[in-house]
Amino acid sequence: MTALHLPPRYFREDAVRYFTRPRWYRLFGLLGRAKPPVASPVPGTRTLPRLECLWMPCWLVEFVTELRGEVGVVCVCVDAWTGFIVLSERREALRAEPPPGDSFPPLIPAERAEELARKGLFQMIMRRRGQLAKPHIREISQVLLFHAPYWVYYHRASGGRVGVKLMDAYTGNPCGGQVRQSVLNALVDRRRRSLEEGASGA
């Protein structure tokens, strides 16, 4: 399978500005003054705060659909760790190269991704209003694995905990709870495997 990745459009300096900008907060429903910026990460260190770009695996499932005799194509993106799906228009943006950084392998296999994509697309279509605007799903034309970039900012949170904030390196937007869960699951799994390998090698 050809290695593919979605090239980032927001880079380290953009992520630093995003994560260290002053933030407003609400107290009892009132808008409070801006919190001071958090510390800027120092490149090349493992101490907090720290910033890195991680590449998460996604399945892009392309469907052939038909509506009123006209054939079309719909692409569905399936997160390869948690299985959540979104409609995708990024097929043409993919680059036929391995991700240029730290990446994770897919947890969900292609066959399962196809099932999730078909079910999710069917549910999206059925939620549309009216009967004439609902295309028929004919077949899957191709399934591609690609890696998407996310900036991950590790910082010292309250109580001495390690906090994690995320930014989509393609859109520049903050990540939702599903992407956050996917990244955290991958990081925890990597840590667990590292500990197991260390214990077996001891």
Domain boundaries, the chain: 4-201
Residue among 187, 180, 164 nearest 49 (CA): 164
Residue among 81, 58, 83, 74 nearest 122 (CA): 74
Q: Is 124 helix (H, G, I), strand (E, B) or coil?
A: helix
Check if the beta carbon of residue 141 is closer than 8 Å to that of residue 64.
yes
Phi, psi torsion values for 9, nearest 5 degrees: -115, -5
Report the sign of the C-alpha dihedral through residues 98, 99, 102, 107, in that order: negative
110 torsion bin: left (phi>0), alpha (psi -120 to 50), beta (else): alpha
Distance in angstroms (rounded) separating the CA atoms of residues 140 and 123: 16
Query: 100-123: b or e for each residue (b if 16 or more CB lie within 10 Å)?
Result: eeebbebbbebeebbebbbebbee
Check if the beta carbon of residue 152 is closer than 8 Å to that of residue 56.
no
- Tell me the pLDDT of the chain (202 aa) as tens digits: 789 999 999 999 999 989 888 776 555 555 555 455 566 776 767 788 889 999 999 999 999 999 888 999 999 999 999 999 999 989 999 999 999 999 999 999 999 999 999 999 999 988 877 665 788 999 999 999 999 999 999 988 878 888 899 999 999 999 999 999 999 999 999 989 888 887 776 5
